[in-house]
Structure 1
Amino acid sequence: MSAKSTDQDGAASPLIILPGLMCDSRMFGATLGAFPDSRAIDGYYGGADRIETMADYALAHMPARAALLGHSMGARIALEVVRKAPERVERLALVDTGVHTPKPGEREGRYALRDLGRTQGMAALVAQWLPPMLGFAGLRNEALMDSLYAMTVSAGLPVYEAQIEALLNRPSVDALLPTIACPTFAMVGRQDQWSPVAQHEAIVTAIPGAQLRVVEGAGHMLPAEAPEAFNQILREWLSWPPA
């Protein structure tokens, strides 16, 4: 299937993916293979340390109009893209994410991992950070764990440090969400401990007409953990609303 959706004017909008913390196009290999016209924006947002600047990077690397999918931190960037240039977003998918401001203890937790990386290296940081990001089946999938480990370690400590500063200083989206008018899906793995289902229920409550899709047996790394189920939801989203 083509990775393009058709907007109200009959124009084709390609699927553009915004990766999350320490992630790149490797996270979406199965999706990029299944949707040949799709593209993930790599480059760690140019090393930016604010969501707003990351959105500027995304806009500079996007086509004029896109079906925009953001995963985790990438979904927060996608929302900022919508804030800055709503006419550029034909439809929106928010995957394994949240719309809340930083919670108590979040800063301390992210800085503890940063300090572990500084003292023991990225391998130690990722070894502690990655396992809670997967569902039970993903944790037992050695090849998947190895690939995600290699991807996130290769991001490097400077990228992690810049991206957690962006997340800890993320802008509020409370006023933005009710204004989103494009077809919007929130997608989440049932076993996502970092961004649980309840956060996505809040998203679809706040965005008019938004749809919630939950994938059983997957965690926070849903696109890599359950790619077939994930891609099937993308097909539905790309043709939403149904005829």
Structure 2
Amino acid sequence: MRTQIVLLPGLLCDDAVWVDQRGPLSAIGECFVPDYGMRDSLGAMADHVLESVEADRLLVAGHSMGGRVALEIFRRAPDRVAGLALLDTGYTERPAGDVGESERAQRMKLLDLARTQGMRAMGNQWAPGMVHPDRLDDKVYQAILDMIERSTADKFAAQIRALLDRPDATELLDEINCPTTLVCGRDDRWSPLARHEEMHARIRGSQLRVIEHSGHMCTMERPEEVTTVLLEWARWAAGGEAAQ
């Protein structure tokens, strides 16, 4: 039975997020990194992925928004998902009331900046929270800005709509029955470790791996450590033993 590894990027991200993991993982299965295009819901992104891959068995890894897409893939096709890796992500819907409106306003402010001053200018405002503070002057941070600049304000708007309208996946976590690894940068300020601990408690048999000295962009900040974790997960999901 053919196995394919799906690597899902997050908001305004592309395959640069997975560049260090893709080669090693390809020894286990063919890797596919989707482009969400102008799709403006997590469900539509999930449907696009499922239509784009032919394998019967999928190992699905998602980073940030991509983790939410991974959950929507499982919601739609649990029998095809042989393993899940959820990195620096979340599972709840946008809060009601003032908190949810504040999130919407902040995202719209960034979108306005992208439209009026360009994607890199927006990235300079947004991206500092993505990484460990020690990385603000290094090549990883510049690579993140370059990745943001490769996208467009229209794609940003579509993905913002997807995130503002994100479905709640709390009950879905209880249904996950495949090998699942949760990964979080110790210093992730956007998708904190506590959130991953909540997910770990709900997903039966899951594993939680913490990446030290890393913020939200762990695949790029600490590529070797994340690659090791994902190789362990992929071998486990492909039929090996879980790492202890």
Is the structural similarity TM-score above 0.5? yes
Residues 1:52 and 2:49 are matched in the alignment: no
Is residue 116 of structure 1 aligned with residue 113 of structure 2? yes
Question: TM-score with structure 1 length normalisation?
Answer: 0.90
Alignment of 1:29 onto 2:19:
yes
Q: Residues 109-147 of structure 1, C-alpha deviation per residue, up to 9 Å, x if partnerless?
A: 111101111221212111111111001333232x21221
Q: Is the 8 A contact 1:90 1:182 kept in 2?
A: yes
- Structure 1: give runs of 5+ residues left out of the alignment: 1-10
- How far does residue 206 in structure 1 lie from its aligned partner after superposition? 1.4
Is 1:84 equivalent to 2:76 in the alignment? yes
1:168-195 Cα offsets, whole Å, 9 max, x none, are: 0011112211011001111010011000
Q: In 2, Cα distance between the equivalents of 1:14 and 1:40?
A: 7
Matches within 5 A, 1:1-243: 11=1, 13-36=3-26, 37-43=29-35, 45-62=36-53, 63-103=55-95, 104=99, 105-141=102-138, 143-240=139-236, 241-242=241-242
State the TM-score, normalizing by the size of structure 2: 0.90
Q: How many residues align?
A: 231
Pairwise CA RMSD of aligned residues?
1.5
- Runs of 5+ in structure 2 lacking a partner? none
Deviation at 1:81, TM superposition (A): 0.4
- Whole-angstrom CA distance in 1 between matches of 2:38 and 2:33: 13
CA distance in 1, matches of 2:67, 2:41: 14
Query: Does structure 2 conserve the Cα–Cα contact (< 8 Å) formed by 1:138 and 1:218?
Result: no
Q: Is the 8 A contact 1:188 1:197 kept in 2?
A: yes
Q: Distance in 1 between matches of 2:192 and 2:18?
A: 21
Equivalent position SS for 1:47: coil
Q: Contact 2:185 / 2:218 at 8 angstroms: preserved in 1?
A: yes
